[in-house]
C-alpha cells in the first residue's frame, strides 16, 4: 500500500523553495503567473518549452530572471536566417602555436538557453539545437561532450510575422514538452508593469537556489503519487485525439490528421506530477491533468484542411476531447 500522507508531507517539505522562487521572480515579472508556472514545470520535469506570443510579453525577461534566481549559467541566442550550427554548438579552431585543432565550445554549453525566434533559423540550426535537447550531448569533430544539468531550452516564436521564417516540422515540435501560448496582461497588471519600468530603482534578481536543489526536486516530482484512475484518464485523453470516433467524438473524425504520440502520454503524466508539486501536493488530481493538458497537446495534434476551413484550432479540439472524456 502507498502511504499518501507520508508522500504528501515529503512533497510539502521538498517544494518549500517554490514560494521563495516565486517571490524572487515576482520582483521583476508582473502578472505572468501562467507562464512562470509552465517554466517551473519544464524545469522540474526536465523538459523544454516553446513559447509563442507577440513581442514585449516578457518572454526573454522571464527565462533570464529564472536563471538569475538559480546559481546557473544563461545564454541567449538570437536566431537569424544566416546562423550556422557552429554558432550554436561550437567548432574546431586551428591553433598555430600548438599546430593542432582545438575545440571552441558554443553558447549551448549553459544551463538555461533562450533560443529567441527559433523559426527564423534554417533547418540545419534547428536540428542541431533539437539534437542537443534530445541527446543532452554535443559532438564537435570526433569528440562528444555531455551538457551540464539542469539543461533547459526555452525557444520563442512570434506568431505575427511569417515572412522569412522556417516553421518547425511536426516531428521536431514533438521534442518540446510544452507549447505555451501567452496573451496580453490585464489592464491592472500593465499599469504595474508601466510603473515598474518608470521607477528610478529597478529591482535586481538574486540567486536564491542552487542547481542541486532543482536536481533533487526532479527526483521528488517523480515520487508524486498517481492513481491508476488518473493514468487511465491521461490515456483516454490521448487516445481520443487518435481515434475520436471510438470515443464519442465522431464530429472530430475529419478534423484531426494525426493525434498525440506516446510522448504526449509520458509528458502529460510527468507535467501533471510537476503541477501537483508546484501546488505543494503529493498526489495528482484530475484538475492537474486538465490544467496542463492544452500546453502538452496543442503542438502534438495535426489539423486537417477541413478543420482549417472551419477555423478550428488545436485548443478547440482539446476542449472537445476534455468535455467528452469521463473524469475519474
In-domain check, residue 5? no
Split into its structural domains, the chain has a count of 2
Q: Is residue 6 domain-resident? A: no
Would 1 be classed as within a structural domain?
Answer: no
Same domain, 39 and 145: yes
Torsion 88-92-97-98 (CA) sign: positive
Three cell numbers, residue 224: 508524486
* Contact predicate 11/141, CB 8 Å: no
- Beta carbons of 45 and 284 less than 8 angstroms apart: no
30 and 146 part of one domain: yes
Same domain membership, residue 173 and residue 66: yes
Residues 138 and 16 in one domain: yes
Q: How far is CA 223 from CA 214, 274, 276, 281, in A?
A: 14, 10, 11, 11
- What is the radius of gyration, based on Cα positions, of the chain? 21
CATH code at 135? 3.40.50.300
**Eight-class DSSP state of 246:** G
Let me know how long the chain is.
328
Q: Are 118 and 125 in contact (CB under 8 A)?
A: no
pLDDT of residue 202 exceeding 90: no
CATH number, domain of 300, equals: 1.10.8.80
Look at residue 201 and tell me if it is in a domain: no
**Domain extent at residue 40:** 11-193+206-213
Question: What is residue 159's three-state secondary structure?
Answer: coil
Are residue 185 and residue 260 in the same domain, yes or no? no
| Model confidence pLDDT, tens digit, residues 3-33 | 788 888 888 888 888 888 888 888 888 878 8
Tell me: cis bond preceding 85? Omega within 30 of 0 counts.
no
Task: Write the pLDDT tens digit of every residue in 84-104.
Answer: 888 888 888 888 888 888 888
Confidence of residue 266 (pLDDT cuts 50, 70, 90): very high
Q: Cα separation of 113 and 74, whole Å? A: 6
Would you say residue 199 lies in a domain?
no
Same domain, 303 and 185: no
Higher pLDDT, 172 or 186: 186
3-class DSSP assignment, residue 231: helix
For residues 54 and 130, state if they share a domain.
Answer: yes
Task: State pTM to two decimals.
Answer: 0.88
Residue 156 lies in a domain: yes
Going by the DSSP 8-state scheme, the letter that residue 142 receives in this structure is T
Alpha-carbon distance 167 to 267, whole Å?
Answer: 23
Q: Are residues 241 and 178 in the same domain?
A: no
pLDDT digits (tens, 9 = 90+) for 267-304: 999 999 999 999 989 899 999 999 999 999 999 998 88
Q: What pLDDT is recorded for position 117?
A: 85
Identify whether residues 188 and 238 lie together within a single domain. no
Task: Tell whether 236 is covered by a domain.
Answer: yes
Verify that 245 and 176 share a domain, yes or no. Answer: no
Residue 161 to residue 157: CA distance in whole angstroms: 9
42 with 161, same domain?
A: yes
CA 28-30-33 angle, 5° bins = 115
User: Of 164, 184, 213, which residue is a domain's last?
Assistant: 213
- Would you state the cell numbers that stand for residue 305, as one nine-digit string? 484542411
Rounded distance between C-alpha atoms, residue 51 and residue 42, angstroms: 12
In a domain, 200, yes or no: no
| Dihedral (CA of 38, 72, 120, 161) sign | positive
Measured between alpha carbons, how far is 206 from 2 in angstroms, rounded to an integer? 39
> How confident is residue 161, by pLDDT bands cut at 50, 70 and 90?
low
Phi-psi region of 241 (alpha: psi -120 to 50; beta: other; left: phi over 0): alpha
Chain centre distance of CA 67: 15
DSSP reduced 3-state for 181: strand
User: Of 33, 38, 76, whose CA–CA distance to 298 is shortest?
Assistant: 38
Please check whether residues 160 and 254 belong to one and the same domain.
Answer: no
At 49 the pLDDT is 92
| Residues ≥6 apart with Cβ < 8 Å to 21 | 40, 69, 208, 209
Amino acid at each position: 500500500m502507498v502511504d499518501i500522507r507520508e508522500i504528501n508531507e515529503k512533497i510539502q517539505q521538498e517544494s518549500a523553495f517554490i514560494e521563495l522562487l516565486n517571490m524572487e521572480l515576482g520582483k521583476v515579472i508582473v502578472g505572468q503567473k501562467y507562464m512562470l508556472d509552465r517554466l517551473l514545470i519544464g524545469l522540474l520535469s526536465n523538459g523544454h518549452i516553446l513559447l509563442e506570443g507577440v513581442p514585449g510579453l516578457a518572454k526573454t525577461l522571464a527565462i533570464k530572471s529564472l536563471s538569475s534566481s538559480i546559481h546557473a549559467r544563461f545564454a541567449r541566442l538570437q536566431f537569424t536566417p544566416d546562423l550556422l550550427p557552429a554558432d550554436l554548438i561550437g567548432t574546431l579552431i586551428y591553433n598555430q602555436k600548438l599546430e593542432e585543432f582545438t575545440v571552441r565550445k558554443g553558447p549551448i554549453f549553459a544551463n538555461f538557453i533562450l533560443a529567441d525566434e527559433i523559426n527564423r533559423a534554417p533547418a540545419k540550426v534547428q536540428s542541431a539545437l533539437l539534437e542537443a535537447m534530445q541527446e543532452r550531448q554535443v559532438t564537435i569533430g570526433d569528440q562528444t561532450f555531455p551538457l551540464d544539468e539542469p539543461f533547459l531550452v526555452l525557444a520563442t516564436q512570434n506568431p505575427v510575422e511569417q515572412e522569412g521564417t522556417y516553421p518547425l516540422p511536426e516531428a521536431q515540435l514533438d521534442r518540446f514538452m510544452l507549447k505555451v501560448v501567452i496573451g496580453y496582461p490585464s489592464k491592472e497588471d500593465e499599469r504595474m508593469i508601466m510603473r515598474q519600468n518608470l521607477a528610478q530603482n529597478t529591482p535586481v534578481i538574486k540567486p536564491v537556489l542552487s542547481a542541486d536543489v532543482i536536481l533533487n526536486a526532479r527526483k521528488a516530482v517523480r515520487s508524486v503519487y498517481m492513481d491508476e484512475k488518473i493514468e487511465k484518464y491521461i490515456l483516454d485523453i490521448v487516445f481520443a485525439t487518435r481515434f475520436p470516433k471510438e470515443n464519442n467524438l465522431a464530429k472530430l473524425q475529419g478534423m484531426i490528421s494525426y493525434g498525440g504520440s506516446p510522448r504526449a502520454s509520458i509528458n502529460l503524466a510527468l507535467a501533471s506530477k510537476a503541477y501537483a508539486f508546484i501546488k505543494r501536493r503529493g498526489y495528482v488530481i484530475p484538475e492537474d491533468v486538465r490544467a496542463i493538458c492544452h500546453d502538452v497537446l496543442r503542438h502534438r495534434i495535426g489539423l486537417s484542411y477541413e478543420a482549417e476551413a472551419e477555423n478550428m484550432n488545436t485548443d478547440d479540439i482539446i476542449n472537445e476531447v476534455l468535455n467528452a472524456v469521463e473524469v475519474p
